């Protein structure tokens, strides 16, 4: 019997050597193309950001791997709060699955992993934002059980 893509995926913390592949995935859609620059060599700003994420024990940049290929990425940030009786929450951002295998179950596997990771860290809540121009992503998150309970706002600087 053939193993499904979802069953063959594994997860690990990203390394500096993964950075080019990660940025290429982040840029591989209409919105990402407007924000990211995957040209080689990568801008120094990506390296600086990676180093800051990697050095912070409350940040994990995680890649999904099939064989030796990076097929997905997400960043999970663990945030202490006074609300929820001093509970921690996990913020999931920068989620991408390689264009060639979207809708194959990899995204579901990534979120199952991330939610379990949040539980391991003692989080009481998992939160995320998604661009309103990504209706498929919104449906995915809702199907997963996320609820649009708050109105998110951002201020570009």
The number of folded domains in the chain is 1
Enclosing domain of residue 61: 9-144
Q: Identify whether the C-beta of residue 114 lies closer than 8 Å to the C-beta of residue 76.
A: yes
Cβ neighbors of 46 (< 8 A, separation 6 or more) are 19, 23
Residue 33: pLDDT over 60: yes
Q: What is the pLDDT of residues 49-67, one digit of tens each?
A: 999 999 999 999 999 999 8
Instruction: Tell me, yes or no, whether 138 lies in a domain.
Output: yes
Q: What is the pLDDT of residues 10-20, one digit of tens each?
A: 999 999 999 99
The Cα angle at residue 26 between residues 40 and 48, in degrees rounded to 5: 60
Q: What is the CATH number of the domain that holds 115?
A: 3.40.630.30
What does the pLDDT average to over 91-104? 87
Instruction: Tell me, yes or no, whether 157 lies in a domain.
Output: no
Residue 39: pLDDT over 60: yes
Q: How many CB atoms lie within 10 A of CB 132?
A: 9
Instruction: Tell me, yes or no, whether 155 lies in a domain.
Output: no
Instruction: Tell me, yes or no, whether 153 lies in a domain.
Output: no
Instruction: Tell me, yes or no, whether 83 lies in a domain.
Output: yes
Q: What is the pLDDT of residue 2?
A: 44
CA distance 97 to 95: 7
Instruction: Tell me, yes or no, whether 26 lies in a domain.
Output: yes
**Mean pLDDT, the chain, as a whole number?**
89
Q: What is the pLDDT of residue 76?
A: 98
Q: Is the dihedral of CA 53, 56, 62, 68 positive or negative?
A: positive
This prediction has a pTM of 0.87
3-class SS of residue 153 = coil
């Amino acid at each position: 019997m053939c193993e499904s893509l979802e069953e063959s995926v594994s997860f690990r913390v990203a390394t500096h050597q993964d950075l080019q592949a990660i940025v290429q995935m982040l840029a591989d859609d209409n919105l990402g193309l407007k924000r990211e620059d995957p040209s080689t060599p990568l801008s120094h700003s990506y390296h600086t950001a990676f180093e800051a994420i990697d050095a912070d024990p409350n940040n994990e940049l995680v890649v999904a791997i099939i064989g030796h290929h990076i097929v997905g990425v997400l960043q999970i940030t663990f945030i202490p709060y006074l609300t929820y009786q001093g509970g921690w929450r996990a913020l999931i951002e920068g989620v991408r699955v390689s264009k060639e295998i979207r809708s194959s179950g990899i995204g579901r596997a990534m979120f199952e992993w991330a939610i379990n990771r949040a539980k391991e860290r003692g989080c009481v809540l998992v939160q995320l934002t998604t661009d309103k121009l990504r209706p498929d992503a919104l449906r995915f998150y809702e199907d997963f059980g996320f609820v649009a309970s708050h109105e998110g706002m951002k201020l570009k600087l």
